[in-house]
Chains A and B, each alone.
Chain A
Amino acid sequence: MELSVDIEKKLRDFTLRADFAVKDEVFALLGASGCGKSMTLKCIAGIETPDKGRIVLNGRVLFDSEAGINLQPQARKAGYLFQNYALFPNMTIAENIAFVASGDNVEKERKVQANLARFKLTGLAQAYPHELSGGQQQRAAFARILAADAQLLLLDEPFSALDSYLKWQLEMELGDVLKEYDGAALLVSHDRGEVYRLADRIAVINRGQMEKVHSKHGLFQDPDTLAAALLTGCKNVSSIKRIAADRIFAEDWQMELQVAADIPAAAQFAGIRAHYIEVKTQVGENTVLVEVVSVVEDVFSYLVMVRKKDAGACPLRLELSKAEWLQLGNPKELYLHLPKERIMLLNP
């Protein structure tokens, strides 16, 4: 299963440009809401039309603006899993599947039974969609997509409307489906955890612009842009000025910092994840005296906002286990250490 996409579409506030290829893998588009990631899926499925570009699935051209090709959604064989699953409310689960299955009646019935069994829905064949739980509806939607012989799975924020417990259950079920499904799947999400757990490779979309495609480990360890750092959950970012080849001045934090390697020419921001920041007892390299602005007790940790004393600096967010913070004795001031190998240098 192979999909290649290279499209452009003018949206209200920006132009969406997506250029990537997916082959036998789960590929994720990670972006904030309204960045154009769902629009990309809709263009592939044929629900929306790009302004220009080309989409090819398994050697079949689905869209090519130069050649004037724009297949109907019906002819594309791209299964789209909607957020609300979009089961047909007037049909039972078996009817939902039979309605989209191709072939004669015998073949249809075979596909219905096979997919009901595959998704453990045989007992619910005669139930209507409203009688099913969220997880069962999602399985029914998958059964329907596979019965329609989809060559590609498009997953549009599959868990965004769910509470965290149900979300986890459905995610595990989706993980199982994806493992068993040997085709390619394209996942769209704003949740870094979701894409990390489910996808093999990840691309960040920022206001319609697709950034470099990463392996998931690469993206989280070494995001190369500000948007990628923020989307992967980095809470502390600052604009920087270069002082030496490997020294920066972080303008928002008002700190002069040593970095581990030479600063890339395009880097304009620095970031550090909250759990990599350390508390020290004395001044040293990359260690500054900071005052505590506020302390928020989270479920399993303390979130401490600190900023450099008397410098009009923006605060940094520091995350400490409860035991660690209580051991420090709720101080008003402390020495903050930003390990140089943990400082990420980011392009805009």
Chain B
Amino acid sequence: MELAPLMITLQTAGVATVATFFIGIGLALMVVRMNRFQGLADAVITLPLVLPPTVVGFFLLLLFGKRSTIGSFLLQFDITLVFTWKAAVMAAIVVSLPLMYRTARGAFEQIDVNIIHAARTLGVSDWRIFWHILLPNARAGILAGLVLSFTRALGEFGATIMFAGNIPGVTQTMSTAIYAAVQANDYDLAGQWAMIIVAFSLVFVVMMNWWINRQNKGAALWN
């Protein structure tokens, strides 16, 4: 069994999750603080969660394809995205972002707004409030978002195959490898990859639950 799909999947999901972490938290803070168009912004960011991944992949193709404005601009610097590893990472980011964004936003909204007001009237800068008050008090939610986005990125299929293709050794992840194996009538190989994905996802979700339970024990005492 070739191990490349496993390595590519882990790398893609890992890099995508790091990006999703920062972008998702940033977007969550931005939307929480919006006075107008909050609903619209929320809908746009959440859309990849409810759209068929093939639609997301199709839009990514349109947006970053060689004939698009962005694609032809990048081509001047000899950068192509479509059917590369970078494209697989981008697809994973877009698809997993709503999960990070929504859980982070929920966690931030749980924080008593008076605590933030109090910190500001006591002279604490917004930057210190973010690192020392918002993040620590939202960590259970943020961690849940992190695990959910990572497992979502692990299993990403539709957008990846549209935008990054299914090139063995380059963009073939575990889930696209299963598709290729089934098409080649190799059910044993497909089954092995399926088991590995199930095992990975299970381990991560169990770890998340364990962590959140531990956090909640602390949190319950806070009240």
Chain B residues near A87 (CB-CB < 8 A): 115, 118
Q: Which residues from chain B contact A72 at a C-beta distance below 8 Å?
A: 120
Q: Are B124 and A74 in contact (CB under 8 A)?
A: yes
Given contacts A84-B112, A89-B115, A90-B136, contact A79 B121 (CB under 8 A): yes
Q: Once bound together, how far apart are the Cα atoms of A79 and B123, in whole Å?
A: 9
Q: Which residue of A lies closest to B117 (CB)?
A: A47
Query: What does DSSP make chain A's interface, helix, strand, loop or mixed?
Result: loop
Give the nearest-CB partner of B125 in chain A.
Answer: A74
A88 near B222: Cβ-Cβ < 8 Å: no
CB distance from B120 to the nearest CB of A (A): 4
Kindly state the interface size class of chain A when it binds its partner.
Answer: 20 to 34
CB atoms of A100 and B124 under 8 A apart: yes
Q: Does A86 contact B (CB under 8 A)?
A: yes
| CB interface residues, A 257-312, toward B, < 8 Å | none
Counting CB contacts under 8 A, is B221 at the interface?
yes
Report the separation of the CA atoms of residues A149 and B132 in the bound assembly, to the nearest whole angstrom. 21
Chain A contacts for B132, CB-based, 8 A: 88, 91, 99
Give the contacts of A101-131 with B (CB-CB under 8 A).
102, 128-131
- Interface positions of B from 109 to 135, Cβ below 8 Å from A: 112, 114-115, 117-125, 132-133
A128 touches B124 (CB 8 A): no
Chain A residues with Cβ below 8 Å from B120 are 46-47, 72-74
- Chain B residues closer than 8 Å to A79, beta-carbon distance: 121-122
Give CA–CA (A135, B136) in the complex, Å: 26
Contacting residues, chain B, for A86 (C-beta < 8 A): 112, 114-115, 117-118
Within 8 A of B (CB), among A143-173: 144-145, 148-150
Kindly supply a per-residue 1/0 record for chain A positions 219-245, scoring 1 wherever the CB is within 8 Å of any chain B CB and 0 otherwise: 000000000000000000000000000
Give the docked Cα–Cα distance between A88 and B136 (Å): 10
Q: What's the least CB distance linking A48 to chain B, in Å?
A: 10
Is the CB of A82 closer than 8 A to any CB of chain B? yes
Q: Give chain B's interface residues, CB within 8 Å of chain A.
A: 112, 114-115, 117-125, 132-133, 136-137, 221-223
Q: Which 4 A-B pairs have the closest CB atoms?
A: A86-B118, A100-B122, A73-B120, A86-B114
